[in-house]
Copies of this chain bind each other. A is one copy, B any other.
Amino acid sequence: MSPSTTFPASTGSEVRLSARRNDCTSPTAGLAPGYLQANMIILPSRYANDFRSLCARNPVPCPLIGESSAVGRFDAVKSYISSLSSPSSPTKNKSESVIQTNDLDLRRDVGRYMVYQDAEPVKTGCLDIVEEWTSDHVAFLIGCSYSFETALINAGLPPPHVLAKRNVAMYRTTIPLCPAGVFTGSTYVVSMRAYNRADLSTVREITSKYHATHGEPIAWGWDALKKLGIKSIDIPDWGDSPVSQDGRPLASLVGSETVIPVFWGCGVTPQEAVMRAGLKGVVMAHLPGHMLLLDCVDEDIL
């Protein structure tokens, strides 16, 4: 059952306030269609500069779109959208207020959170982080592929997992991130959607516009599995095992010349990088799938 049929909220603000009341405990896919959803990572301030650098050096898997407005502030965010260079309008500065969001409490406005202590999870799926948040924490917002999935659906090319009401399949790869400070030894995480080879160029073109939410795919075709170091298409590291657009297990189509896997940078990448860096102290994040809803719409970041 689609989350949107159980929780028909219509704006980002409504979902956010529901989460604050602990009334939004399911994944946010399909909620408030068109409103921007963000991955969130909250770090001790001593790691903030290195994390910004990690994102600047790896913008495809780690598109940083905002951060809390000052160390310890949980009620306002500042936007990175204006400093993201858009290939089509590199010198055009977008409004710095594009992701400014009214009535915000980063400690409560995500449906479910993760809490890590010294790189080990200590809470999974908790409803708020009021106790864990300190005056030394900085929150970072990372773009989410839900933005381009809406565009694919509108173009008549819905991702198979959306049609099947499943979670998207995500995989660890062996492709290294460019290291930044304490963040070394990490690799890309990718999400995968199967498409007909004939639709590949259209799929690439549609998603290429969403450069703040992973942009066009980073690899495609069956030989990409080996290049990315993915052992089995049927065993993702996160999400559900993948299907084709007509609902068949994708594993039954390995090597097909008509249906191919297409891989995008994934917003789980920075969370993985934070874990692999073995950061000391308390780190917090959204529970994967349970995003922060913002007041702006997907088109605001194009």
Contact = CB atoms under 8 A, between A and B. Distances in A.
Interface in A187-234: 204, 208, 211, 215-219, 227
Nearest to A52: B87
Q: How large is the interface on A (under 10, 10 to 19, 20 to 34, 35 or more residues)?
A: 35 or more
A100 to B, nearest CB: 13
Contact of A85 (B80, B88, B215, B227): B80
A84 interface: yes
A55 B43 CA distance: 29
Given A56-B59, A211-B56, A49 B179 contact: no
A83 interface: yes
A34 interface: no
A270 to B, nearest CB: 14
A78 interface: yes
Interface in A81-116: 82-88, 90-91, 93, 96
Contacts of A82: 91
Given A60-B57, A60-B178, A218-B178, A85 B87 contact: no
A87 B218 contact: no
Contacts of A80: 85, 90-91
Given A91-B82, A91-B83, A96-B91, A176 B218 contact: yes
Interface in A125-184: 175-176, 178-181
Contacts of A215: 53, 57, 178
Contacts of A91: 78, 80, 82-83, 96
A265 interface: yes
A98 to B, nearest CB: 12
A281 to B, nearest CB: 20
Instruction: Give the 4 A-B residue pairs with the shortest CB-CB distance, closest first.
Output: A53-B87, A52-B87, A83-B85, A60-B178
